[in-house]
């Protein structure tokens, strides 16, 4: 359980971005305004969402990054 592990559970999310936005798995996205703020790790490459005639937007899955990791206080990769 997350309580026993001493960490908050992952907060998964679905993101929607404009066509042409270059996002790849492993990229970080920072939300600085609105109802949800924080840093998010892109888990999947965005899928194309079409309307009746053209590409409308891209969407994919992300997970929130712990604030201590996002601020650089903890470096999970071990590289400086």
Q: Are 70 and 38 in contact (CB under 8 A)?
A: yes
Q: What is the pLDDT of residues 66-75, one digit of tens each?
A: 776 666 544 4
* 61 — pLDDT class (breaks 50, 70, 90): very high
Question: Quick one: pLDDT at residue 74?
Answer: 46
- For the chain, what are the domain ranges? 9-68
Place of tokens 């965005």: 46
Say what the pTM is. Answer: 0.68
* 76 — pLDDT class (breaks 50, 70, 90): very low
Q: What is the DSSP letter of 29?
A: E
With 70 as the cut, is the pLDDT of residue 7 above it? no
Q: What is the DSSP letter of 34?
A: S
């Amino acid at each position: 359980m997350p309580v026993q592990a001493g960490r908050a559970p992952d907060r998964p999310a679905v993101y929607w971005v404009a066509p042409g936005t270059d996002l790849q798995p492993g990229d970080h996205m920072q939300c600085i305004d609105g109802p949800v703020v924080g840093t998010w790790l892109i888990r999947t490459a965005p899928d194309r969402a079409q309307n009746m005639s053209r590409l409308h937007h891209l969407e994919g899955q992300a997970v929130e990054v712990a604030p201590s990791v996002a601020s650089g206080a903890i470096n999970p990769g071990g590289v400086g």
